[in-house]
């Protein structure tokens, strides 16, 4: 299938909002919108392994479309079904998805000498070509209903997984590297950054219309360590991706940074090449506007757990959120982190409906 001649886009609300244009209502999508809370996802997952789905373009496409088919015009974007851990895999590490535990690396990096185990020269297009194929196929199957996001993990978050070997409460092993082996840490982060740039450009070439970088573990770092070990690479990614896209005559797509927990870095995340800064629920919208000097579009940020509290609480919290981000636009609604696996899909519907209704009302006033 060709990565050209895609069907025309019928809903470009999120693309216009990302560029800071005044739009008729707040666009909305949900991190992890294709996931375990959907019975139709569980059904497919019964028959296929998680990474098997990621590597099979037809299945990845099918799962990407599930929330779009279910919620119809209530969603303004889709995100390709994949995972941030495909980059460690492309670097040569084994990653398993273990029921009840999440991702597990059987052989994590223990000492900088283990970096020699990683592939020296990664042919990204070859290793991750299955993601590109899934993106191209999905762009055709979406038939222009909504734009498609590509994504990746930020270098610090990926490095932390590669060292911790999976989830961790303290990240003490990964953090130890920062202070004990700073030079080797920068070398590793730089390698991950190089692969990431290549991968993001490839995703746009394949048809991605926006890109989001997930720095899920940014909030575990002190402001000083974030500025030393995460921010420079996040910045380099935006700069190089945009240069490459322009040079290759590809669309210079809007980019979103989600540095979860890094409220202290909002000013630093402004004007480094990302049109959109995604917020978790601990950040007050008004504070975020002030910290970013109103120079970026803000995304977020309802606490995902409100979706357990019943339709009234969802309506009340969603209304307050839309109002707090204000009537001047520059807001893309989402949750403050990924949707949780035990949420009732009808609770999400209430959230989506409320945001659309309230945001259209306040624009009309
Ligand atoms: O719908 C979408 O948002 C697209 C798909 C997507 C997945 N993972 C699918 C997935 C995206 C964007 C991600 C990103 C991702 N993956 C992040 C960043 C976002 C965040 O939550 O901070 C991280 C840290 C990962 C790594 C990862 N993958 C973890 C920690 C887990 C297990 C815990 C969990 O929430 O399930 C996964 C597994 C995973 N990734 C699932 C899905 C649908 C569930 C896997 C299963 O079916 O068993």
Summarize pLDDT for 235-258 with one digit per residue, the tens. Answer: 999 999 999 999 999 999 999 999
Strand ranges (E), 270-347: 276-278, 297-302, 331-335
Question: Which two three-digit tokens encode residue 307?
Answer: 């979706």
- Whether ligand 1 lies within 6 angstroms of the CB of 216 is answered as yes
Residue with tokens 């450009």: 201
Task: Report strand pairing: 331-335 vs 78-79.
Answer: unpaired
- Model pLDDT, residue 154: 98
If residue 213 lies in a helix (H) or strand (E), which one and from where to where? Answer: strand 210-215
Q: How far apart (Å, rounded) are the C-alpha atoms in residues 365 and 347? A: 28
CATH code: domain 13-364 is 3.20.20.210
Select which of 12, 16, 32, 130 is catalytic.
32
Q: How far apart (Å, rounded) are the C-alpha atoms in residues 83 and 171? A: 20
Average pLDDT for residues 282-298, to the nearest whole number? 96
What are the boundaries of each domain within the chain? 13-364
CB–CB of 322/333 below 8 Å? yes
Question: Which residue of 59, 338, 345 sits with most ligand 1 atoms within 8 Å of its CB, as the best mutation to test the pocket?
Answer: 338
Average pLDDT for residues 59-72, to the nearest whole number? 98
Q: How far apart (Å, rounded) are the C-alpha atoms in residues 69 and 277? A: 27
pLDDT at 363 over 90: no
**Among this protein's residues, is 132 annotated catalytic?**
no
- Model pLDDT, residue 156: 98
Average pLDDT for residues 310-332, to the nearest whole number? 94
Other CB atoms within 10 A of residue 176 CB: 11
Question: Which two three-digit tokens encode residue 147?
Answer: 């734009």
Average pLDDT of the chain is 97
CA of residue 124 to ligand 1 center, whole Å: 21
Weakest mean pLDDT among 34-48, 85-99, 196-210, 319-333: 319-333
Output the residue whose Cα is nearest ligand 1's atom 8. 83
pLDDT class of 266 with cuts at 50, 70, 90: very high
- Whether ligand 1 lies within 6 angstroms of the CB of 177 is answered as no
Residue with tokens 């015009």: 73
Q: How far apart (Å, rounded) are the C-alpha atoms in residues 88 and 69? A: 31
Average pLDDT for residues 334-340, to the nearest whole number? 98
Output the residue whose Cα is nearest ligand 1's atom 46. 50
Average pLDDT for residues 119-137, to the nearest whole number? 97
pLDDT class of 331 with cuts at 50, 70, 90: very high
CB–CB of 70/339 below 8 Å? no
Express each pLDDT in 14-23 by its tens digit. Answer: 999 999 999 9
Q: How far apart (Å, rounded) are the C-alpha atoms in residues 315 and 323? A: 12
Q: What proportion of the chain, given as a percentage, has pLDDT over 70?
A: 99
Question: Which residue of 39, 62, 83, 96 sits with most ligand 1 atoms within 8 Å of its CB, as the best mutation to test the pocket?
Answer: 83
């Amino acid at each position: 299938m060709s990565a050209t001649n895609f069907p025309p886009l019928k809903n470009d609300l999120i693309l216009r909002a990302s560029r800071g244009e005044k739009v008729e209502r707040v666009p909305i999508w949900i991190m992890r919108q294709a996931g375990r809370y959907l019975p139709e996802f569980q059904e497919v997952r019964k028959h296929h392994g998680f990474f098997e789905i990621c590597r099979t373009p037809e299945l990845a496409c099918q799962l990407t479309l599930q929330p779009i088919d279910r919620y119809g015009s209530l969603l303004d974007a889709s995100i390709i079904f994949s995972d941030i851990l495909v980059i460690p895999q492309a670097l040569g590490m084994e990653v398993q998805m273990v029921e009840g535990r999440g991702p597990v690396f059987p052989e994590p990096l223990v000492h900088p000498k283990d970096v020699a185990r990683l592939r020296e020269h990664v042919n990204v297009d070859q290793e991750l070509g299955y993601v590109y194929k899934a993106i191209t196929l999905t762009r055709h199957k979406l038939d222009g209903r909504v734009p498609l996001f590509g994504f990746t993990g930020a270098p610090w978050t990926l490095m932390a997984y590669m060292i911790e070997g999976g989830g961790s409460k303290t990240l003490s092993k990964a953090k130890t590297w920062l202070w004990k082996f700073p030079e080797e840490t920068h070398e590793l982060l730089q390698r991950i950054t190089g692969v990431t740039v290549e991968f993001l450009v490839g995703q746009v070439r394949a048809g991605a219309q926006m890109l989001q970088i997930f720095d899920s573990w940014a909030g575990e770092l002190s402001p000083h360590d974030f500025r030393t070990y995460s921010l420079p690479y996040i910045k380099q990614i935006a700069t190089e991706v945009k240069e490459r896209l322009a040079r290759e005559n590809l669309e210079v797509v809007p980019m979103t940074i989600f540095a979860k927990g890094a409220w202290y870095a909002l000013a630093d995340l402004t004007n480094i090449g990302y049109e959109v800064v995604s917020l978790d629920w601990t950040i007050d919208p008004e504070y975020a506007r002030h910290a970013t000097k109103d120079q970026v579009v803000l995304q977020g940020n309802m606490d995902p757990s409100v979706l357990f509290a019943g339709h009234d609480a969802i309506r009340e919290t969603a209304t307050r959120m839309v109002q707090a981000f204000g009537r001047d636009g520059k807001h893309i609604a989402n949750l403050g982190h990924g949707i949780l696996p035990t949420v009732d899909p009808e609770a999400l519907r209430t959230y989506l409906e409320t945001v659309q209704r309230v945001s259209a009302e306040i624009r009309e006033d």
